[in-house]
Amino acid sequence: MCGIIAYNGQDDAIPYLLEGIRNLEYRGYDSFGCAIDSPVGIIIKKDIGRVDDVINKYKIQNFSSNKAIFHTRWATHGGVKTENAHPMIDCMHRIAVAHNGIIENWAELKESLGTHKFISDTDTEVLSHLIEEKLSRGSDIQSAVKDTFNQIKGSSSFIVLDKQSEDLIAVKKGSPLVLGIAKNGNFLSSDVPSFVRHTNKVVYLSDGDMVVLGKRGYTITNLMNRDVNHDVSTVNLSAKHAEKGDYEHFMIKEIMEQLAQMKSLESADFGNVTRAAELVKNAKLVYLIGAGTSYHTALLGAKVLRENGIKSAAVQGQDLITYRNVISEDDVFIVISQSGETADIINAMPLISKNKKIGIINSEGSTLTKDVDIFIPIDAGPEKAVASTKSFTLSSVYVTLIAMFAAGKKEEALRDLKLLNINMYNLLVPSVLSAIDKAAEKIKGLEDVFFLGRDSDYIMALEGALKLKEVSYIHAEAIDAATFKHGPLALISDKTYAVALVSESTRNDTLYNLQEVKARGGNIIGVSDKNENVFDMFIRAQNGGAFGFVTQSIILQLLAYKTSILKGINPDRPKNLAKAVTTK
Ligand code: F6R
């Protein structure tokens, strides 16, 4: 995925866009580029590297213009090279295009543009040349963009700067694009936090929308003939939500935010949870769909539903196709996604177009929010660190609430939320923090770490292993403690470390399995409410009630974060990863 932000108006665009693109860097950090409108034509500056490095290299802060587009790239099509950084221009240097998405039919389109000179390996470059081709045949810029949009396949949102036009033209399909309406001009961006310091008035664009962004106003038409809502919404988000504040990294800020977020759930209005629970109660089967971390939420939700007598299955988005012959119209789907943009999930949606869908989604206005019947905004606020933390715990709390409400256990759920907050209060005490530090100190030098647990402890083990892999580059593998004896035990030696999750309901069986690890010389870092003889190191997690997984999860997030820091890695920007995965 990539990040785009553009401004057109009376003010100088450059300071706005510099701030905005730094904010969007979580969406991609391979290369940066910009197109700046100027009296002598379009100025293009682009290069590989982190946003700030490229900005400083080309002294972008010294430019001034009322109209510009900035882009930060995460390479999908074409390697990390300066030529592949956006924006792309046409042969005559009349237009510049910044794009987020994938053009599936780029090869045939490129072939049809035989005489045009391509300089990059990207799919994006066909856009600038296609538009140029249409302009050369007499189209005006709006028709040229519209016809280009109709020719491309895949999910693509892009913004066009034409040196002969006062306007910026943008279209949205698949990848996110929002319009921000400020006092002296307007923004187009991949997300709201990137411009929220200047306005909280937004229009969440829909697929097919084409925006003509003038200096003073804008028009929106839908090129897919959809009847969509273009009302202006006021977002309840302040600039501080999108900034690190006093924290060194977004990841630790977002981990710590969970304490207040869990507390605020105690007074939340669960109207949409109640409506979702009604749907779920009457479903033939409930499918929970997610990817990566959100799939772990799906696993947890499916387990809690089954325990409450509701038939359910967790499925990774890309795997839903294998269920196509068994899905019935009476099945209900719970779609879980932080970004609301994950391609593996979006691509599965046509398979369930006739089914009722509940969305547990963090990003308001995102593609998936428009595809569900009941949208449960988890209100985690912007999640900027690449590794998902607060969205995981909040969405996991929401699936658990839906299951418990559907089973008539609303009071028990609300009581357990209170218990969770008592446990949260005792969670990050100095003894626990220093135990996490010691464990991270041990783990930082390892090449492999196992994460073990049974039941929901196993699901948290899966999530803990994923977090450690992402931000510390250590091979971490979660294995059900009961399954360990079916093969993986062969790997154990006195050099092996396993992080073991133990809670009240799993204690006896898991401890039995851990003895088997211990007997073969393995070392165990226990995450549990009680210290056990089998543990070599111990991190206390108060984990009672239906939401006990939250405290376990926060400990594992901190363990991954601290290990990352000790290894000198920036946990907010792990190599090779992007925040939302919009590729197949
Ligand atoms: C891991 C992580 C990814 C995402 C996955 C799905 O920390 O962030 O595994 O969970 O790419 O993303 P969403 O939830 O945005 O659909």
pLDDT digits (tens, 9 = 90+) for 325-377: 999 999 999 999 999 999 999 999 999 999 999 999 999 888 899 899 999 99
Q: CATH classification of 249-425, choosing from 1.10.1740.10, 3.90.226.10, 1.20.1260.10, 3.40.50.10490? A: 3.40.50.10490
The one-letter amino acid code at 76 reads: T
SS3 at position 546: coil
Question: Which segments of the chain have a pLDDT < 50?
Answer: none
Pocket-testing residue among 300, 346, 581, ligand 1, by greatest number of atoms within 8 A of Cβ: 581
Confidence (pLDDT) at 542: 85
CATH fold group of domain 3-242: Glutamine Phosphoribosylpyrophosphate, subunit 1, domain 1 (3.60.20)
Whether omega for the bond prior to residue 87 falls within 30 degrees of 0, making it cis, is yes
Cα separation values, 93 from 119, 171, 184, 349, 467, Å: 13, 21, 28, 39, 44
CATH fold group of domain 426-584: Rossmann fold (3.40.50)
The DSSP bridge partners found for residue 359 are 335, 375
Confidence (pLDDT) at 316: 98
Dig out the tokens for 166 from the structure: 């006062």
Catalytic residue among 2, 46, 67, 303: 2
Q: Is residue 510 within a helix (H) or strand (E), and if so which, with residue range?
A: helix 507-519
For ligand 1, whether the C-beta of 339 sits within 6 Å is yes
Residue with token string 């504040």: 245
Confidence (pLDDT) at 426: 87
Name the segment(s) of the chain with CATH classification 3.40.50.10490: 249-425, 426-584
User: Counting atoms of ligand 1 from 1, which one is nearest the CA of 342?
Assistant: 16
Question: Which are the contacts of 499, defined by CB distance < 8 A and separation ≥ 6?
Answer: 439, 449, 450, 451, 452, 461, 464, 525, 527, 556, 559
Supply φ then ψ for residue 399, to 5 degrees: -65, -35
Confidence (pLDDT) at 578: 79
Q: Any catalytic annotation for residue 34? A: no
User: Counting atoms of ligand 1 from 1, which one is nearest the CA of 580?
Assistant: 15
Kindly tell me the burial class for residue 232, based on how many C-beta atoms sit within 10 Å of its own C-beta (0-12, 13-18, 19 or more).
exposed
Query: Which residues of 66-177 form beta strands (DSSP E)?
Result: 67-73, 88-89, 95-101, 156-162, 168-171
Confidence (pLDDT) at 62: 97
Q: Any catalytic annotation for residue 579? A: yes
For ligand 1, whether the C-beta of 393 sits within 6 Å is no
- Residue of 382, 390, 8, 51 lying closest to 194 (CA atoms): 382
Pocket-testing residue among 254, 288, 293, ligand 1, by greatest number of atoms within 8 A of Cβ: 293
Confidence (pLDDT) at 577: 84
Q: How far is the CA of 318 from the centre of ligand 1 (A)?
A: 14
User: Counting atoms of ligand 1 from 1, which one is nearest the CA of 391?
Assistant: 14
SS3 at position 331: coil
Pocket-testing residue among 294, 386, 393, ligand 1, by greatest number of atoms within 8 A of Cβ: 294
For ligand 1, whether the C-beta of 338 sits within 6 Å is yes
Catalytic residue among 134, 467, 579, 584: 579
The one-letter amino acid code at 486 reads: H
- CB of 190 closer than 8 Å to CB of 4: yes
For ligand 1, whether the C-beta of 367 sits within 6 Å is no
pLDDT tens column, 8-60: 999 999 999 999 999 998 888 889 999 999 999 999 999 999 999 999 999 99
Name the segment(s) of the chain with CATH classification 3.60.20.10: 3-242
Question: Which are the contacts of 38, defined by CB distance < 8 A and separation ≥ 6?
Answer: 63, 65
